[in-house]
Amino acid sequence: MGKGHHRHLIRAAILLGAAIFLFFVVRALLIPKSFGLYGHFRGENLAEQASLPIVHGNPNSCAECHDDVWKIKLAGRHAAVPCQDCHAPLTQHVTEDGVQPMPIHKTFALCARCHQKLEAKPKTFPQIDFHEHVVSKDKNLENEEICLSCHQPHSPMGEK
Amino acid sequence: MLKLPSAPQSNGGKIEDEDAISRREFLTSALKMAPSVALFVGLMRVSPLKAAEQALGMIPGTNYDPSEHLFAYVVDINKCIGCGMCVKACALENKVPDHFFRTWIERYVVSEKGEVIVESPDGGINGFKPMTPGFNVSKSYFVPKLCNHCANTPCSQVCPVGASYTNQDGAVLVDSKRCIGCGYCVQACPFGSRFINPLTRTAEKCTWCYHRITKGLKPACVEACPTGARLFGDMNNERDPIRKIVTEEHIAVLQPEKLTKPRCYYLGFDKETR
């Protein structure tokens, strides 16, 4: 057997070795370190997801400062309505720069979201035809805050 | 498993042709390469994937261990009033770009003859307006929708880079740093729960507000619902009300024929609901 064949094999082996080495180098570079920590994904992502900023506060945290309004709300028909729905997320109010004024929505567009008489709303839910309701009360519908002229938003029908 | 190379045999075997390799020569050389092949196969197996799948525990920076929880979400169709506060809260909480939705509300209006109108104006983020369907309405209802967080999820199966995944606690999440924005998952989801964020160019979807639930808070949509139509809880917690609902009430899931095993359950489900 000729010597040349050995050289072929050595060359092939070197090439294969280099390919294997390259494979592992590229693989190590492409796959993030925490990949597979919890499953077929980058484990660090869980900590990234968990560390996103919270915008809406704990619903009970409003009571810490606004106990008076909180009690009125709890006694009324709007007891289950979260404060941050009609106002704004807590983090817009309590910020790192101190307490900022809380936006207050007073228009009937807000009230209408829940109470406009609509196809598809559960029959038992209190809903009104706004035009009919306001006209029957001899009020002016052009006033956007018309609802608040009769209803106290935190307890719209008095104590339940 | 390792095949040891046999003792070197330099000039054994008959040579019939100058250029041909004898069988012995071939086998010897092949055996010499066996260790490197075995090493290659061995290293393939000891990849970080396998080794770390058992490595569990708290997520760094939290007191939360994903293996201790299994979340479920319940939507009570009978209670939804279509106010859209959940959609608004979701958009604020997760900075969802305008006209894209991680959760949305659909209005179903059904006639006696079986005609169905389904609409979701801007996802219901501003609530719903009165409508004239053009037929006698026999029944109508709102259906809040979100990612179903399927146990057998089609979306993460098609992800080519491992960016979409199902976590041990049941949450289906997207790693935005890993996502290449190919959009396969958007097409794979039969519920239309995913979209490509036009700003980041990566896939996005409901995370059950993962940053909230890992700290013991409810998702923003659940907190925002004034009628209790949306419920969220931990099936591993015996005292969680959601466990009683899922195990004892008559519940349904969207598109059960797709066999995706959603973890979002519906109460008051109608046959027209898609």
Question: Over the stretch A98-131, which tens digit does the pLDDT of each residue have?
Answer: 999 998 888 888 999 999 998 899 989 999 988 8
Contact residues for B84 (Cβ-Cβ < 8 A; gap 6+):
A113, B105, B123, B124, B125, B126, B127, B128
Could you give the C-alpha distances from A133 to A140, A150, B31, B115, in angstroms and in order? 11, 12, 93, 32
pLDDT at A1 over 60: no
Q: Is B118 on the interface with A (CB under 8 A)?
A: no
User: What pLDDT is attached to residue A4?
Assistant: 62
pLDDT at A132 over 90: no
On chain A, the residues whose CB falls within 8 A of the CB of B225 are 82
The CA-CA-CA angle for residues B22, B25, B30, to 5°, reads: 125
User: What pLDDT is attached to residue A37?
Assistant: 87
CB distance A50–B52 less than 8 Å? no
User: What pLDDT is attached to residue B17?
Assistant: 61
User: What pLDDT is attached to residue A68?
Assistant: 94
Which of A36, A87, A78 minimizes the C-alpha distance to B51?
A36
The CA-CA-CA angle for residues A81, A84, A87, to 5°, reads: 105
User: What pLDDT is attached to residue B56?
Assistant: 63
Q: What is the largest CA-CA distance in chain B?
A: 97
Contact residues for A105 (Cβ-Cβ < 8 A; gap 6+):
A86, A87
Residue in the structure block whose two tokens are 């349904």 = B252
User: What pLDDT is attached to residue A127?
Assistant: 92
CA dihedral B158, B159, B165, B170 (to 10 degrees): -30
Q: What mean pLDDT, rounded, does chain A reach? A: 89
Spatial distance between the Cα atoms of B209 and B196, rounded to a whole number of angstroms: 18
On chain B, the residues whose CB falls within 8 A of the CB of A47 are 59-62
Q: Which amino acid is at B65?
A: D
Of A9, A35, A38, the CB nearest to B167: A38
Which residue in chain A is spatially nearest to B92 when comparing CA positions? A55
User: What pLDDT is attached to residue B14?
Assistant: 52
Of A36, A114, A119, the CB nearest to B137: A119
Spatial distance between the Cα atoms of B42 and B2, rounded to a whole number of angstroms: 10
Interface test with B, best of A38, A44, A124, A133 (most B CBs within 10 A): A38
Give me the DSSP letters along B53-75. Answer: HT---PPTTSS--GGG--EEEEE
CB distance B177–A45 less than 8 Å? yes
On chain A, the residues whose CB falls within 8 A of the CB of B212 are 54, 56
Beta strands A98-99; B71-76: pairing state: unpaired
CATH topology of domain B66-151+193-267: Alpha-Beta Plaits (3.30.70)
User: What pLDDT is attached to residue A86?
Assistant: 93
What does the domain layout of chain B look like in residue ranges?
A: 20-55, 66-151+193-267
On chain A, the residues whose CB falls within 8 A of the CB of B220 are 55-56
Which of B97, B83, B104, B77 minimizes the C-alpha distance to B193?
B104
Q: Is B267 on the interface with A (CB under 8 A)?
A: no
Higher pLDDT, A30 or B264: B264
Measure B31 CA to nearest chain A CA, in Å. 12
Per-residue pLDDT of chain B (274 residues; tens, 9 = 90+): 455 555 545 555 455 566 677 888 888 888 888 877 777 766 665 555 444 444 467 888 888 999 999 999 999 999 999 999 999 999 999 999 999 999 999 999 999 999 999 999 999 999 999 988 889 999 999 999 999 999 999 999 999 999 999 999 999 999 999 999 999 999 999 999 999 999 999 999 999 999 999 999 999 999 999 999 999 999 999 999 999 999 999 999 999 999 999 999 999 999 989 8
B161 three-class SS = coil
